[in-house]
């Protein structure tokens, strides 16, 4: 989860810095992702606002951390992998998680648990047998000065 948290720090989204780390069944890192704009879209030219006309907000453009980690993976397959993510996946990322063959989701926060997106996500995970659980902090800490 620490690697997912570090990945989240790369996001330019001040409101929703989400990070994801996908690991193999033996906990080897396969891929990382964070909330960001599609490759080639200049982060400085894209909107990061939450409110306003739809085309003037981030929602039409941002790729979520989970999707970025899946799409950026150099691994030939993610079948049987686990995903550590700082925020419970939305319904759209859940579809990508299911399609990629990931079998377990470990999340840090589920602040949108009662939203339709997250209710749908849990319904899909339950339907296909993907387990999900809240991360229990170990009490360890890391300090990095950059």
Quick check: is 92 catalytic? no
Active-site residue (options: 66, 92, 104, 145)? 66
Strand, coil or helix: 72: helix
Strand, coil or helix: 21: strand
Q: Rounded to the nearest 10 degrees, how much is the dihedral formed by the CA atoms of 24, 25, 26, 31?
A: 10
State CA 9 to chain mean position distance: 13
Residues 142 and 2 sit within 8 Å (Cβ to Cβ): yes
User: Which residues lie across from 19 on neighbouring strands?
Assistant: 34
Instruction: Give me the active site residues, please.
Output: 66
């Amino acid at each position: 989860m620490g690697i997912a948290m570090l990945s989240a720090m790369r996001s330019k989204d001040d409101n929703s810095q989400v990070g994801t780390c996908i690991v193999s069944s033996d906990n080897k890192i396969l891929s990382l992702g964070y909330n960001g704009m599609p490759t080639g879209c200049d982060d400085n030219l894209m909107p990061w606002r939450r409110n306003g006309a739809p085309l003037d907000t981030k929602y039409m453009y941002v790729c979520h951390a989970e999707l970025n980690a899946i799409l950026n993976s150099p691994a030939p397959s993610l079948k049987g992998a686990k995903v550590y993510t700082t925020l419970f996946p939305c319904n759209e990322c859940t579809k990508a998680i299911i399609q990629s063959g990931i079998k377990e989701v470990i999340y840090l926060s589920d602040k949108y648990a009662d939203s339709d997106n997250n209710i749908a996500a849990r319904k899909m995970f339950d339907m296909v047998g993907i387990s999900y659980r809240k991360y229990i902090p170990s009490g360890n800490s890391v300090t990095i000065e950059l």
